[in-house]
Chains A and B, each alone.
Chain A
Amino acid sequence: MARKYGLLALAVVILSIYLFPVYWMYITALKTGTEIFANPPTFWPRDPQVQIVEVWTRLRMDVYLRNSLLIAGGVTLIVALLGTGCAYVLARIRNRWMDGVLFGVLMMQVLPSSLMITPIFVAFNQMGLLEYPRLSVVLAQAAKVMPLYIVLVRATFLQVPRELEEAALVDGNSRIGAFTSIIVPLARNGILVTSVLIFLQSFGEYVYSRSLISERALQPATVGLQSFMGPNSSDWAGVMTYSAIYVTPILIVFVLLQRQIVSGLTSGALK
């Protein structure tokens, strides 16, 4: 028994060391401008200050976060609408063609954004899409994350028993009817968790937004944060408060859905 609690204590220590940067972000966000540069640094703020409102208005976080939400929402919508059906078919039918499609999807999953952005920028520019910079980012990012969505949701569909679907067809449902009223509801959890994952990833998207959106009022929170972190910036309290406001909702969603996210990820990456 003592051994178990010893191990637990050790585990907490390892985790604390690992998560120290996150702790440091929150602590710095609570410090005053002078305390930040105190030597030795304080590991607990002497005079905690909540600067959320001040940073929120000074750094125009409402604009940036709204853009991030719009982009992430658009991406998730496109991906869920187009990807779910594809994931389902890839889970149900195995033949040479579908194997080929699956292989292609897996290949497209690995294309790095930073390398794809050059042709995307030029092509979007020629098509006139850059007139709508946020839409451009949504379209590009949806293509980036759709393969991951398909792979993860396909793993969920694999677990839905084929018999249920066959029973529905025997009962006179059409394929579309069976798909929308039986299969998708049964795979609901997997679809939701994967959509959350896609949303969170797109909420923190940077490369496409940085390269495709030049107008400040349309940029998302990552690009905004980057622009405040110039080489000579010393407003670390501001930057860390900004970061804390930005990631706290992400971390809350993550802790709530931790178990589902972990199992969803592992089933998709290895199958």
Chain B
Amino acid sequence: MKPALDPVQLAIPFFVVAIVLEILLARFGKARASYEPRDAATSLMMGLGSTIAGLVTGGAVFAASLWVWEHRLFTIPMTAIWAWVVLFFAEDLTYYWFHRLSHERRFWWASHVNHHSSTHYNLTTALRQTWTGGVAGTWLLWLPLSLLGFPPAMVAIQKGISLVYQFWIHTEAVKRMPAWFEAVFNTPSHHRVHHARNARYLDANYAGILIIWDRMFGTFIPEDDAEPCRYGIVRNLPNFNLFTNVFHEWIGIGKDLAGSRSPREVVGYLFGPPGWSPDGSRETSHTLKARWRARAQEHKPADNAP
């Protein structure tokens, strides 16, 4: 059960045309983009598979939203412009926290990691969507909007608009947008940083449409031309296998839980940051960034050097 107007479905022909254009422009040297066919195939199959996975869980998610809306605090009309303006900001803020949670806590990272496993950054990467988001339950974060009184169809449409917006920022073809745009909106430059695996860029730029949330909550890192983004995840996957891509982190969690020796370890493996381990022997974003800072400090010339 989905709203009659689905921005993502409507945008699919645009997605296809844009990818064709990006490939052709790169082929003829008019734009910067690189495609590895097996990587692109994985991304596109992930997109197709997520549509099918969405059919399985989408009905239950929408029904839950409807149930919450029936117990709403206020009645917000879908036809009011002010309601769409408020929802635009509220949904985008919700997206920011969903996205931050999906990176900083392993249970939700297990579902989101496959969006980041490509070592390329092109328009097909945008379609590399999760198959297990419904199971991970991050959709619960949007229920308060329905509790406030936004109709579930309205929330679903705004979520779709956000996803469609985020498609075009998955590209190396656009270097920088005008300064005012970079200040307010999520852009290819900001999102390249988000997809980078360089230690200095980890856990940054969680924005959906507006980059203002990262600036407000201290997670904004600008792209530094002196350090080009290297894409992918900290431990890049050893193959292009679709199912490895979808399930590897869930399998990793399962193995860790099977070897757990205390409730503390169970909680840590499930809800600690990705890379958490009881003895601290594995790497988390925090430890990787700390080591990067230490190296940067070491190589920094002394301020009072002659």
A and B: bona fide binding partners: no
- Give the B-binding residues of A (Cβ under 8 A): none
Q: B: which residues have CB within 8 A of A?
A: none
